[in-house]
Structure 1
């Protein structure tokens, strides 16, 4: 209880300080204040839980160019969370805004949107590859997803010329980055000698890695959830990269 009170007091002081900022910093201060309030009303201070007010404040912060708010709002529309309905058009618009301002997480998602043609995104393998290439070399947690997507693109010749060597190079990067699908695929490749020399030891290594932390009944043949956004929305249904979410707006 004391901790919650301290968090609430800190929030009040922070918002007051932001609102009282110099005139030249008014827009930025207003955005920070709105974002802080959105976190407060989402229950992150332990003092309030008002999803409708949280969404309103998050949208206000996003409209005032708060980058993190823009990304979180995009994921909110992507996944849907009462009282917000899933809206792929709105999700795409906010991901695009955030990606153009430098968000790697948003850029990762745009690759999937263009691959499938979701929301207002033009279905284009070339555009999808372009976004994945922008993010595959980053230190962001979604890099492994982009690396695995590039492996598939080069393997199938979608958006880029078919190139087995490049496909395997991206597969190895994705496996080393921790993508479970890539680890399993690489293990099978070493097991069968497909694209790499047959190597029973490396096959066992990567197949074992792919099973670490995965329940025995999980089916690796199906795609695992892609990067699912900020921890704020970790309780939501994960985003499936190769199938449109159920319900909501479908392209």
Structure 2
């Protein structure tokens, strides 16, 4: 349901020229305004915001709602050299009054930040109108306004109601947020929402549900369910989930044991920046368990893990990391360790790996 401006209004980087190219909310015969919009769109796609704005304003002034939205976007966006959010609100308002739903969502963000003479009350109005057009992103935005009290009186029940409406459309982010609301008061209900979101492709919800099955969250533990959900989260690229999934693969907990596959997951987690993943990868490298032994690489990843997290307060984890570091420093050629230290220092300064 979401198009380009919806992503912009929710502060996400998902806007693409292709999304604008796909907007065709009001089929009509070719007009001068339409031709102007096509010229504006082409200029935008060619990286020429100045001409995009010129053609867009001419087309938008002639009544083309897509051009009005494009102009609003160009004026709202940083980096174009023409940012003027107050003027952007004027163009979005033109399109919103003609029923353009992306414009309604964009107006809500401008209203929350008091641009164009708008207020948080206006944000609620436009989001409610967008929600009436089945826009779940607008429903979630309304929920956020009410739950956080963004410019209005906080109303957690009202916010939850909007999340439930979005969830009823199968919106996975709304389902996950409902899980987040319930986790501290009703873990069983939270798990239901997390699993629904995971079924709809939300990897973070899958990770949360996996942790609930693996830990004591007032639900029956299930190694097989935890493994399945961890696999989903790990495959989606969540580094912490990759470390956890690698660990259960290493242990054979809910899945067939494989030191080789575990080491691969630890490596992915390590490169993804997860401190536990870096320690576990260092551990397998030091042992040569599932991967070719390398004391230099083991010490390198161990140093990065320590830089990432320091003392975690988790006794077993901190003790294991300290013991591995001590064994390496006691038994490995100092020249090898020095080489690893230099790599770790250099990569930390460069922001890699």
CA distance in 2, matches of 1:49, 1:88: 20
After TM superposition, give the deviation of residue 156 of structure 1 in Å.
4.8
Name the Cα RMSD after superposition.
Answer: 3.3
Change (3 A) 1:51 1:157: closer
State the structure with bigger RCO (CA 8 A, min sep 6), 1 or 2. 1
Name the structure 2 match of 1:166: 158
Distance 1:121 1:203, change over 3 A: same
Is the CA contact (8 Å cut-off) linking 2:181 and 2:190 kept in structure 1? no
Which residue does 2:185 correspond to in 1?
193
Determine the C-alpha separation between the residues in 1 that align with 2:43 and 2:137.
32
1:113 aligns with 2:115: no
1:29 Cα deviation after fit: 2.4
1:34 matched to 2:31 = no
Q: TM-score, normalised by structure 2?
A: 0.43
Contact 1:148–1:179 (8 Å) recurs in 2: no
Separation in structure 1 between the aligned mates of residue 173 and residue 188 of structure 2, nearest angstrom: 19
Give the whole-Å Cα distance in 2 for the aligned partners of 1:152 and 1:186. Answer: 11
Match of 1:91 among 75, 88, 93: 88
Q: 2 CA distance for matches of 1:103 and 1:178?
A: 23
Aligned to 1:242: none
**Greater Rg by CA:** 2
Q: Would you say the 8 A contact 1:107–1:134 is kept in 2?
A: yes
Per-residue CA shift, 1:15-59, capped at 9, x if unaligned? xxxxxxxxxx9xx8221221222234445xxxx775433332122
**Where does residue 75 of structure 2 map in the other structure?**
77
Q: Which of the numbers 201, 205, 209 marks the counterpart of 2:195?
A: 205
Change (3 A) 1:163 1:36: closer
Question: Structure 1 residue aligned with 2:141, among 149, 157, 165?
Answer: 149
d(CA) in 2 for partners of 1:116, 1:52? 26
> What is the distance in 2 between the residues matched to 1:49 and 1:154?
38
Deviation at residue 162 of structure 1 after TM alignment: 5.3
Cα deviation 1:174-207 (Å, max 9, x = unaligned): 344465653332112343336xx84264044156
Number of the residue aligned with 2:124 = 129
Distance 1:131 1:65 in 2: 21
1:216 corresponds in structure 2 to: 238
Shift of 1:101: 1.9
Could you say which residue in structure 2 is the equivalent of 1:232?
Answer: none
Measured after TM superposition, the shift of residue 71 of structure 1 is: 0.7
Shift of 1:92: 1.1
Q: Is the 8 A contact 2:33 2:63 kept in 1?
A: yes
Q: What is the alpha-carbon distance in structure 1 between the residues aligned to residue 123 and residue 238 of structure 2?
A: 33
Secondary structure of 1:192 counterpart: coil
Q: TM-score, normalised by structure 1?
A: 0.59
**Displacement, 1:73?**
0.9
Question: Which of 101, 106, 114 lines up with 1:104 in the alignment?
Answer: 101
- Equivalent-residue separation in structure 2 for 1:162 and 1:200 (angstroms): 22
Q: How far apart are residue 89 of structure 1 and its match? A: 1.6
| Post-superposition offset of 1:111 | 1.6
